[in-house]
Amino acid sequence: MKIVAVDVVVTSPTRNFVTLKVTTDEGVTGLGDATLNGRELSVAAYLKEHVVPLLLNRDPANIEDTWQFLYRSGYWRRGPVTMAAIAAVDMALWDIKGKVAGMPVYQLLGGASRRGLSTYGHASGRDLPELFDSIRHEKEHGFSAIRVQTSVPGITALYGVAAQTQASGERYDYEPAQRTALPVEEDWDTRAYLRHLPGVFEAVRHEFGPDLALLHDGHHRMTPLQAARLGKDLEPYDLFWLEDCTPAENQEALRLVRQHTTTPLAIGEVFNSIYDIKDLITEQLIDYVRCASTHFGGISPLKKVMDFAAVYQVKSGFHGPTDVSPVGLAAQMHVGMAIHNFGLQEYMEHSERTNAVFEQSLTFVDGLLHPGDQPGLGVELNEEEAAKYAYQPAYLPYNRLADGTVHDW
């Protein structure tokens, strides 16, 4: 078989998505996700200008060889743009292989290790009553693990709090990238956050009892010492994990955090390669790998890093926000189905319009997500629907402290 066409499709049903479509001479097609939130067109150009010409006439069956060829022949390795582009190719080739074999991709990765994937939902609120309502809503929806984000007195706009009015005046609704010409400025105060958060978790634990798995995303905002203190302060409330407590580029920061707290740690949504996370795994400084198929180079490296992590009893907690497209979500669901050391899958659910563009075989029943048993990834692109929604510039926000200093967002 040969690759005869490769198309890069940019569509924006409710947010921007970049999708790669690979077509073979036998008419089999495969899809890959190359969406990089706020920088979408850079990956689209990387693919169109530098990758598509290299794929034509290649045998789509040779997934590992194609991955290594794209990774090594580019010389400039890693980085989110390069790795999202390689990820899209890798996913599309797994999709094709599954369709040719007549099997869902998880079968090709070793078969199902479980009935479905346990997931966590997102709850948030501006105050405790609103937060409790949001948690109840997620529980009724089937989630037995819930991420809790809350407003903090004195901070106007805070990541992950759906109902609050943002600096832009628009509602956040779990979609931090806003369709504005310039990134929106938000505010931040670490001391106020550290003072407020433990009380919120105490109230949530008291209200919902010991069973409910609770998670929190620190979104890279703390120093190692601040993160260590937060982890310690949250210990009585038995978190399932504390995510991204420090900026992710410094792996050593987690050593200090780990020495001070037994709150489980999760990190990796901004990582692009195994080299970003290998010390965290071998030194057992984390408990969950948050990498996403889309930003980590695809299915092949995600499966490899999880097999490596299994040696150290580190589990998966793949990143599943709405900016990972249904194709990217499917890719990591297949990995999650196959590996033994699956932990928990983030599931934010895409909009109805997005689901009309990406037709999916996924099911979500009683909190268990399943990619379905269609051959390949189980996602098809409705190109007519996709063509209705042109790309719209959108940026993630950024933070400034009270004195005007830029802070991690």
Interface residues with ligand KDG (CB under 6 A)? 37, 176, 217, 219, 269, 319, 321, 323, 346, 396
Per the DSSP assignment, residues forming a β-bridge with 315 are 288
State the binding partner of 287 from ligand KDG, Mg ion, none, CB within 5 to 8 A by kind.
Answer: none
Distance of alpha carbon 245 from alpha carbon 253, whole angstroms: 10
CB contact set of 345 (below 8 Å; sequence gap of 6+): 117, 118, 119, 120, 316, 317, 318, 320, 332, 333, 336, 369
Closest residue to ligand KDG, Cβ-based? 37
Strand order across the 3-11 sheet: 3-11, 17-24, 29-33
DSSP string covering 302-340, please? HHHHHHHHHTTT-EE-----TTS-HHHHHHHHHHHHH-S
| Rounded (10°) CA dihedral 78, 345, 210, 256 | -10
Q: Between 323 and 380, whose beta carbon lies closer to ligand KDG?
A: 323
State the binding partner of 192 from Mg ion, ligand KDG, none, CB within 5 to 8 A by kind.
Answer: none
159 a catalytic residue: yes
Say whether 120 sits in a helix, a strand or coil: strand
State the binding partner of 321 from Mg ion, ligand KDG, none, CB within 5 to 8 A by kind.
Answer: ligand KDG
State the binding partner of 295 from Mg ion, ligand KDG, none, CB within 5 to 8 A by kind.
Answer: none
DSSP string covering 79-104, please? SHHHHHHHHHHHHHHHHHHHHHHTSB
Q: Between 318 and 389, whose beta carbon lies closer to ligand KDG?
A: 318
Q: Between 24 and 124, whose beta carbon lies closer to Mg ion?
A: 124
State the binding partner of 176 from ligand KDG, Mg ion, none, CB within 5 to 8 A by kind.
Answer: ligand KDG
Please identify which of the residues 122, 216, 219, 220 carries the catalytic annotation: 219
Least spacing, CB of residue 168 vs ligand KDG, in Å: 16
Least spacing, CB of residue 152 vs Mg ion, in Å: 17
AA letter at 20: L
Please identify which of the residues 46, 71, 159, 193 carries the catalytic annotation: 159
Q: Between 130 and 269, whose beta carbon lies closer to ligand KDG?
A: 269
Q: Between 90 and 269, whose beta carbon lies closer to Mg ion?
A: 269
Q: What is the DSSP letter of 110?
A: T
By CB under 5 A, name the binding residues for Mg ion. Answer: 217, 269
206 a catalytic residue: no
Q: Between 219 and 303, whose beta carbon lies closer to ligand KDG?
A: 219
Contact 148/139 with Cβ under 8 angstroms?
no
**How many CB atoms neighbour CB 175 within 10 A?**
19
- Known catalytic residues? 159, 219
